[in-house]
Chains A and B, each alone.
Chain A
Amino acid sequence: MSFQTVPMFPGDLYDAASRFASQAAAAAPGPSSAQVRGQQWSKVLEMGWPAVLVPQAQGGAGGTLPDLAAIVEATARQSLNLPIIERCAVAPALLSALPQERARVLLEQVAAGEADLACAVQPDLLRGLDALAGPDGSWELEGTITLDMSLAASHTLVHVPAAQALLVLEAAQMPPPAMRYRSVDGRELADIALRRVRVPASQLLGSGAQVQPAVDKALDLGALMSAAEVVGALGALIEQTIAYLKTRTQFGVHLSTFQALRHRVVEMYVQYESASGLVARIVHDGVEKGQLASRDVSLAKAYLGKVGRFGAEAAIQLHGGMGMTEELLSARLAQRMLSCEFEYGDRFSHLTRLVDRGLAHSAQELHDEPVPA
């Protein structure tokens, strides 16, 4: 019986997501195409994943953070490049945190699978963004946003920090991309230049002092889920690396007999147990306290940045020449783990946030015990 890592959030939802991911990967092995991703996303909508974090009152499943984390963890294992975190976590969280009626209506559409929301809210994907209010309550949007275009979206949420506004753009209002890119992990991204794009008042989802905290909460959720994604990918990587070393022979013996290689896998495993423990704890704490602690999220992201880097580099090295090829799932998982660090803030930006906001406290405080003065 080959070694399997123990997931952070086992259960029916993990199993279902795992099955979906395996079947999706088997049906279309290798880096996916837009058409394949579209088919996969139809199944995602059927399974109701965008509705998991939407309250029942808004037509959602009223699920919990561990529910979504189970989905993220399981699908991470196949490097499918579906925008699950963006559309099933960040978008619903952002809309839920805004009091406006329009936000609630859009949230219900998301839960019903009628709206598919891309998000331009990560600060480093917004450049020179501003929105000027017009006399009729409309807004004129200016600046550049970088979007994940791997999957078509019906709407795009755009955070404009300079105007303290959260706007929603419909697909038809989006200018064509100024430049398209392939990311390291095989996603399609685009720079979109917004030049005096007029947005009617009806598309303002939030304004004023309430917007930034709502965005921050959604970004914290995105960050924690991206940490969960790294854990899921690392677990799969350990299993695949063990399987590879047990089958590959050179000099008449299996590579798994070489001590140097065994030890490297052990190091990956130790990192897996520590990282999965930490991320699971922060998710459960979030449920217990009703909200995520920013400090914990930043610590997790800072740590998982290193864990992801270590795991990716180890997996590549242990697979030898094959580890450098995109044909190999393990190599693609490594690319994904390297890229995950830069989603929702890399370790340097999270460490900066921790230091700046005086959030760097002692390790003891993580356990919610009073620290003697």
Chain B
Amino acid sequence: MSNTDISVDYEAFRREVRDFARLSCPPALREAVCSNQKLGRKEFSAWQKILFARGWAAPGWPRAEGGTGWDLRQRYIFEEAMAQLDCPPQYHHGIGHIGPVLLHFGTPEQKRRFLPGILDGTHWWCQGYSEPAAGSDLASLKTRAVRDGDAYVVDGQKIWTSHAHEADIMYTLVRTSTEAKKQDGISLLLIPLDTPGISIRPIKTIDGWHHVNEVFLDNVRVPAENLLGQEGQGWRCAKFLLDRERLSPATVPRLARLLDQVGELAAAEQARHAATRDLSSLAERLLTAQAEVRAASEMLLSAIDEEMRGSLRAAKASALKLYCSELGQRIIEIAFDAIGPDRVRRFIPMRDMGDAPTGAEWIHNYLFFRSRTIAGGTTEVQKNVIARELFGA
């Protein structure tokens, strides 16, 4: 858990991280973040390397394991500075997902093999969880792993695997038993993506970017030492993070920064077309979003305090996540409305234009943000989870 070190000088810490953010982010990276372009392994790894050099590779990990040992409030201050100064976010699958699971469930050998590459950004992970028939009902997954001597033989299919096309290894939920309750038959297997029998097919998403893939596994032999935890413990590993890392300190600061940018865009578009296209009604939406971002900030700060005291209720953490998903969609929709006529048609250039922003990034982002209420648990499912706590049933 986080340190509650009451002698932390948060103001000095804020100055320190802001100085770092100002001085350490290469201009090309800052430009990509600032123009809301899609970031991939190249950008995330470059930033992870810089953080690693500073000793800040893992803000949420214990110091003994290569982490910073910061408390939640410090992690928030860090994320706020990174967002305000247009530094890249950290890619979450390594540092945020499989890393902590390895720390808790991994053998010393697995930690030795995998943690360094996560920390310095040289080894790239993706998540093999969902299947075509197992989305919201993930526990019904069917990808099978059968023990054969010193290996597991894996057959099946994963879907929505973000960045599988550029990853080295996939942490994968597989079914090792069909006997018990379905959750108890699931194991967590670490599958290198260059193993024979794996094919990756890109999925074309409506946002015009390439993030997700289908991963087909056909008779894939995975060494038994790549099993993380015990057989049948996979579901518990997956739930581990949901129960522990209930707050994401990065989301609210990123939304605040996005709103600032959207405000500037709306003003620019209004100035360009005022005579034929009056955008003054966007003002109400922008101001409402400002209030909502401040409300989200307060919700997050109070949730951080409660989490550090051990009194945070799950419903509040879920409510904040839900609120931010929908708020993000409302904010980016203002940009979509502002610049729509210009870039909905002239969306994807059919010739490589290099990295210079065109304004179409707003359109890509508006469409991408539609998945904020679908990916990682649909809002419908999340509302049911919250309702069960509110209603006691």
- Which of B203, B205, B350, B379 contacts A181 (CB under 8 A)? B350
Contact B341 A324 (CB under 8 A): no
* B window 112-164: CB within 8 A of A: 130, 135-137, 140, 159-160
Residue of A nearest to B211 (CB): A324
CB contacts (< 8 Å) of A179 on chain B: these are: 346, 349-351
Whether B378 is near chain A, meaning CB under 8 Å from some CB there, is yes
Q: When chains A and B are docked, how far (Å) is the Cα of A189 from the Cα of B370? A: 25
* B window 371-385: CB within 8 A of A: 371, 373-375, 378-380, 383
Whether B50 is near chain A, meaning CB under 8 Å from some CB there, is no
Whether A146 is near chain B, meaning CB under 8 Å from some CB there, is yes
CB contacts (< 8 Å) of A317 on chain B: these are: 370, 373-374, 378-379
Binds B, one of A197-205, A211-219, A349-357: A349-357
Contact B204 A183 (CB under 8 A): no
Contact B374 A146 (CB under 8 A): no
CB contacts (< 8 Å) of A335 on chain B: these are: 206, 367
Contact A123-B276, Cβ < 8 Å, known A179-B349, A191-B346: yes
Q: When chains A and B are docked, how far (Å) is the Cα of A355 from the Cα of B275? A: 12
Whether B281 is near chain A, meaning CB under 8 Å from some CB there, is yes
Contact B363 A324 (CB under 8 A): no
Q: When chains A and B are docked, how far (Å) is the Cα of A317 from the Cα of B367? A: 12
Whether A251 is near chain B, meaning CB under 8 Å from some CB there, is yes
Separation in Å of the B88 CB from the closest CB of chain A? 23
Contact A352 B277 (CB under 8 A): yes
Contact A352 B375 (CB under 8 A): no
CB contacts (< 8 Å) of A316 on chain B: these are: 206, 370, 374
Q: What is the interface of chain B mostly: helix, strand, loop, or mixed?
A: loop
Whether A180 is near chain B, meaning CB under 8 Å from some CB there, is yes
Q: When chains A and B are docked, how far (Å) is the Cα of A338 from the Cα of B333? A: 12
* A window 320-357: CB within 8 A of B: 320-321, 323-327, 331-332, 334-335, 338-339, 341-342, 346, 348-349, 351-353, 355
Contact A180 B345 (CB under 8 A): no
Whether A142 is near chain B, meaning CB under 8 Å from some CB there, is no
Whether A101 is near chain B, meaning CB under 8 Å from some CB there, is no
Contact A348 B278 (CB under 8 A): yes
CB contacts (< 8 Å) of A324 on chain B: these are: 205-207, 370-371, 374
Q: When chains A and B are docked, how far (Å) is the Cα of A123 from the Cα of B346? A: 15
Contact B206 A326 (CB under 8 A): yes
* A window 93-123: CB within 8 A of B: 123
- Which of A184, A325, A351 contacts B203 (CB under 8 A)? A325
Whether B85 is near chain A, meaning CB under 8 Å from some CB there, is no
Residue of A nearest to B277 (CB): A349
Separation in Å of the A330 CB from the closest CB of chain B? 10
Q: When chains A and B are docked, how far (Å) is the Cα of A332 from the Cα of B367? A: 12
* A window 114-170: CB within 8 A of B: 123-124, 146
Whether B337 is near chain A, meaning CB under 8 Å from some CB there, is yes
Whether A258 is near chain B, meaning CB under 8 Å from some CB there, is yes
Separation in Å of the B211 CB from the closest CB of chain A? 9
- Which of B160, B203, B208, B344 contacts A338 (CB under 8 A)? B344
Render B169-212 as a binary contact track against A, CB cut-off 8 A, 1 for contact: 00000000000000000000000000000000001111110000
Whether B238 is near chain A, meaning CB under 8 Å from some CB there, is no
Q: When chains A and B are docked, how far (Å) is the Cα of A335 from the Cα of B208? A: 11
Q: When chains A and B are docked, how far (Å) is the Cα of A251 from the Cα of B140? A: 8
Whether B347 is near chain A, meaning CB under 8 Å from some CB there, is yes
Render B321-364 as a binary contact track against A, CB cut-off 8 A, 1 for contact: 00000000000000001001110111111110000000000010
Whether B279 is near chain A, meaning CB under 8 Å from some CB there, is yes
CB contacts (< 8 Å) of A27 on chain B: these are: none
Q: When chains A and B are docked, how far (Å) is the Cα of A156 from the Cα of B276? A: 25
CB contacts (< 8 Å) of A250 on chain B: these are: 135-137, 140
- Which of A181, A251, A326, A332 contacts B136 (CB under 8 A)? A251
Q: When chains A and B are docked, how far (Å) is the Cα of A335 from the Cα of B345? A: 11
Contact B374 A321 (CB under 8 A): yes
Whether A1 is near chain B, meaning CB under 8 Å from some CB there, is no
Contact A346 B349 (CB under 8 A): no
CB contacts (< 8 Å) of B379 on chain A: these are: 317
Residue of B nearest to A188 (CB): B350
* A window 221-267: CB within 8 A of B: 250-252, 258, 260-261
CB contacts (< 8 Å) of A189 on chain B: these are: 345-346
Contact B374 A342 (CB under 8 A): no
Contact A182 B160 (CB under 8 A): no
Whether A313 is near chain B, meaning CB under 8 Å from some CB there, is yes
Contact A349-B276, Cβ < 8 Å, known A183-B344, A250-B136, A342-B345: yes
CB contacts (< 8 Å) of A351 on chain B: these are: 278, 281
CB contacts (< 8 Å) of B130 on chain A: these are: 321
CB contacts (< 8 Å) of A313 on chain B: these are: 370
Residue of B nearest to A335 (CB): B206
Q: When chains A and B are docked, how far (Å) is the Cα of A174 from the Cα of B166? A: 42
Residue of B nearest to A259 (CB): B380
- Which of A146, A184, A325 contacts B204 (CB under 8 A)? A325
Separation in Å of the A88 CB from the closest CB of chain B? 20
Q: When chains A and B are docked, how far (Å) is the Cα of A351 from the Cα of B276? A: 10
CB contacts (< 8 Å) of B375 on chain A: these are: 321
Contact B135 A326 (CB under 8 A): no
Separation in Å of the B382 CB from the closest CB of chain A? 11
Separation in Å of the A198 CB from the closest CB of chain B? 27
Render B83-120 as a binary contact track against A, CB cut-off 8 A, 1 for contact: 00000000000000000000000000000000000000
Q: When chains A and B are docked, how far (Å) is the Cα of A342 from the Cα of B341? A: 6
Q: When chains A and B are docked, how far (Å) is the Cα of A125 from the Cα of B349? A: 16
Contact B367 A184 (CB under 8 A): yes
Listed from nearest, the 7 A-B pairs whose CB atoms lie closest are A250-B137, A180-B350, A326-B204, A182-B348, A352-B278, A349-B277, A181-B346
Extra contacts, 18 of them, besides A146-B345, A181-B347 (Cβ < 8 A), are: A124-B342, A180-B350, A181-B348, A189-B346, A250-B135, A250-B137, A316-B374, A320-B378, A324-B207, A331-B206, A335-B367, A346-B337, A346-B341, A348-B278, A348-B281, A349-B276, A349-B277, A355-B278
18 A-B contacts (beta carbon < 8 Å): A124-B341, A180-B349, A181-B347, A183-B345, A184-B345, A189-B346, A250-B137, A251-B136, A251-B140, A316-B370, A317-B378, A321-B375, A325-B205, A342-B340, A349-B341, A352-B277, A353-B276, A355-B278
